[in-house]
């Protein structure tokens, strides 16, 4: 039928939310997800959430938008760095500026019982997924 297209040798194909094929650059696969996370976080910034609200929103947004793709394709180190910076900028309301954090991100990632806020630790989550 004329509506069926055969994929070429080095052409990627989008199936079930991930790209399959040869010569696929992983950061390119992740760009739509990173942009979606950036957009949702910028939407949340308009409401001026507290530090606790920022921790909860960041954990929910980043984990929900990245979990499937991390499992299906793995997360490249460059994307891990980008998401960590997005998290840091949102939680501490830096707006892209270089400002030292008053509370370390590793402290916020601790459980509430230990004085943290259960902030998502992307490295540990990715290790658990793999």
What are the structure tokens assigned to 34, written together? 């990173």
Q: What is the pLDDT of residue 121?
A: 95
With pLDDT > 90 as the criterion, what percentage of the chain qualifies?
62
With pLDDT > 70 as the criterion, what percentage of the chain qualifies?
99
The residue among 77, 41, 69 whose CA lies nearest residue 57 is 41
- Dump pLDDT digits (tens) for 37-83: 999 999 999 999 999 999 999 999 999 999 999 998 899 999 999 99
Q: What is the pLDDT of residue 24?
A: 77
What are the structure tokens assigned to 112, written together? 């509430």
């Amino acid at each position: 039928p004329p509506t069926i297209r055969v994929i070429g040798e080095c052409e990627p194909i989008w199936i079930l939310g991930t790209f399959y094929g040869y010569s696929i650059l992983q950061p390119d696969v992740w760009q739509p997800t990173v942009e979606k996370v950036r957009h949702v976080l910028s939407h949340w910034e308009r409401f001026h959430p507290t530090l606790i609200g920022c921790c909860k929103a960041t954990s929910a947004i980043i984990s929900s938008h990245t979990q499937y793709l991390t499992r299906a394709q793995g997360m490249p180190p460059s994307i891990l760095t980008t998401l960590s910076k997005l998290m840091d900028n949102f939680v501490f309301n830096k707006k892209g500026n270089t400002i030292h954090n008053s509370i370390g991100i590793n402290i916020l990632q601790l459980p509430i019982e230990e004085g943290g806020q259960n902030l998502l630790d992307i490295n540990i989550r990715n290790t658990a997924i793999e």
